[in-house]
Structure 1
Amino acid sequence: MKIDEIYNNFKTCTIASTDTRKLQQNCMYFALKGDNFDGNQFVQKAFDGGAKYCIIDNIEYKINDNCILVKDVLSTLQELATFHRKKIGIAIISLTGSNGKTTTKELINTVLKTTYKVKATVGNLNNHIGVPLTLLSFTEDLDFGIVEMGANHLNEIEFLCNIALPDYGLITNFGKAHLEGFGSVEGVVKAKSELYNYIISNKKIAFINTDDNKQIKQIGAYSKIIKFGNGEKNDCIVTFKEAKPYVTLVYNDLQIKSQLIGDYNYGNIAVAVAIGKHFKVSSENIKKGIENYQPDNNRSEIINKGTTQIILDAYNANPTSMLAALKNFKQFDAKNKYLFLGDMFELGTEAAKEHQSIVDFITLNFDENIYIIGNNFYDTNTKSSLHKFRRFEDLKELLKSLQLNNTSVLIKGSRGMALERILDTI
Structure 2
Amino acid sequence: MKSELKPEALVEFVRETYQTNKFIPLHAPTFAGNEKAYVLETIESTFVSSVGKFVDDFERQIETFTGSRKAVATVNGTAALHAALYMAGVARGDLVITQALTFVATCNALYHMGAEPIFVDVSPVSLGLCPKAVDSFLNEYAERTDIGCIHKSTGKKIKAVVPMHTFGHPVELDELVAICLKWNLALVEDAAESLGSFYKGKHTGTIGDFGAVSFNGNKIITTGGGGMVLCKTQQQGARTKHVTTTAKVPHPYEFFHDEPGFNYRMPNLNAALGCAQMEVLEPYLKQKRLLAESYKDFFNGTDFQFVTEPDYAQSNYWLNVVICSEREQRNELLEKTNQAGVMTRPVWQLMHRLPMFEHSICDDLSYSEFIEGHLVNLPSTPLSYQQGKQ
Higher strand share: 1
Task: Tell me the TM-score normalised to structure 2 length.
Answer: 0.31
Task: Tell me the TM-score normalised to structure 1 length.
Answer: 0.29
